[in-house]
């Protein structure tokens, strides 16, 4: 059966068209009949496909962490198409050269998550089932606020310190929690799905007024293509929201800076969310509208 993919192409030949041509050739070689119809008129496209071909480039280049290929597919609703419209998502690990195992997850909205772990040496694969943490507290677990790049790190660290203090009280010489700054949004979602992290927040777009007052340039933020596979995390049971607790609804573009927060379960959300909002409000960082900021 021939499947027709209507694709919005926003790049010249050698860009989007060439990518989908290679995609179709690969799928045809695998036995699938695919007819790619490249549309330059967004109104005529059936689907919008958003992808990040390498999420976590620096960590992969320097041999520190895996990167991820992220892809999200949504029905085309024109300029109003958002992250909330994504109905199919695929997330594939790009492992380090010394790493022989590679994980992949995919999800269709409302149908749960499928996954596999592939051995690159033998070619064998086995099913992989995500399991977010069931812990009811952030104490003695991993989590925290993303602060990958210079610029506003002190403010983000202060927010995290205040949240942990409000939730768990003063450290008093103990290691109350741990953090892992994984410089890949797809990687962060993976850590939540696998039960490694209990909560994560990326609040970088909220720093814009702080940095303006300091006379500093805005920092690089998370964008919709970084979050195009958050459907997988949600289908796995992770709670993903914007800064006001709503479902992510940023437009499928490459410009919008997105704040997002992930909780492993409801108990963790109930513990962290009120404290986080209170701290953001106290520091003048909670915006008057929902959690997407154009940067």
Asked whether 45 and 76 are in contact (CB, 8 A), the reply is yes
**For position 86, what pLDDT does the model report?**
97
Predicted pLDDT at 40 = 59
Q: Give the pairing type, strands 3-8 and 34-39.
A: parallel
So what's the pLDDT on residue 44?
Answer: 77
Q: Which of 146, 244, 163 is nearest to 204 (CA)?
A: 146
Give span(s): CATH 3.40.190.80, the chain.
142-294
Any idea what the Cα angle at residue 294 is, between residues 293 and 295, rounded to 5°?
110
Secondary structure E strands in 76-110: 88-94, 101-108
The whole-angstrom separation of Cα 260 and Cα 234 is: 13
Domain topology for 142-294? D-Maltodextrin-Binding Protein; domain 2 (3.40.190)
Give me the tens of pLDDT residue by residue for the chain, a chain 295 residues long. Answer: 334 444 433 333 344 445 555 554 444 444 444 444 455 566 778 999 999 999 999 999 999 999 999 999 999 999 899 999 999 999 999 999 999 999 999 999 999 999 999 999 999 999 999 999 999 999 999 999 999 999 999 999 999 999 999 999 988 888 999 999 999 999 999 999 999 999 999 999 999 999 999 999 989 999 999 999 999 999 999 999 999 999 999 999 999 999 999 999 999 999 999 999 999 999 999 976 644 444 3
Q: What is the pLDDT, as a whole number, of residue 292?
A: 46
- Report helix, strand or coil for 45: coil
| Predicted pLDDT of residue 18 | 52
Position 77 scores a pLDDT of: 92
Question: What is the reported pLDDT for 10?
Answer: 37
8 Å CB contact between 6 and 45: yes
């Amino acid at each position: 059966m021939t499947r027709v993919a209507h694709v919005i192409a926003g790049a010249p030949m050698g860009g989007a068209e060439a990518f989908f041509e290679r995609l179709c050739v690969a799928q045809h070689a695998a036995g699938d009949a695919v007819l790619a119809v490249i549309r330059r008129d967004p109104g005529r496209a059936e689907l919008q496909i958003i992808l990040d071909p390498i999420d976590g480039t620096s960590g992969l280049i320097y041999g520190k962490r895996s990167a991820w290929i992220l892809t999200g597919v949504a029905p085309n609703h024109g300029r109003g198409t958002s992250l909330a419209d994504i109905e199919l998502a695929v997330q594939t690990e790009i492992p380090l050269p010394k790493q022989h195992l590679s994980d992949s997850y995919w999800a269709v909205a409302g149908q749960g998550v499928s996954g596999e772990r592939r051995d690159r040496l033998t070619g064998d694969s086995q099913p992989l089932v995500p399991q977010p943490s069931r812990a009811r507290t952030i104490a003695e677990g991993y989590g925290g606020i993303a602060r990958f790049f210079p610029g506003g790190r002190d403010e983000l660290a202060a927010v995290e310190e205040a949240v942990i203090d409000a939730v768990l009280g003063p450290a008093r010489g103990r290691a109350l929690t741990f953090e892992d700054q994984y410089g890949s949004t797809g990687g962060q979602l993976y850590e939540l799905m696998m039960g490694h992290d209990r909560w994560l927040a990326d609040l970088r777009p909220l720093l814009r007024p702080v940095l303006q007052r300091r006379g500093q340039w805005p920092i690089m933020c998370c964008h919709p293509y970084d979050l195009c596979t958050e459907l997988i995390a949600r289908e796995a049971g992770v709670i993903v929201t914007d800064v006001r607790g709503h479902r992510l609804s940023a437009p499928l573009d490459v410009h919008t800076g997105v704040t997002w927060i992930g909780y492993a379960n409801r108990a963790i959300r109930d513990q962290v969310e009120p404290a986080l909002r209170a701290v953001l409000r106290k520091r003048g960082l909670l915006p008057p509208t929902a959690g997407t900021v154009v940067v």
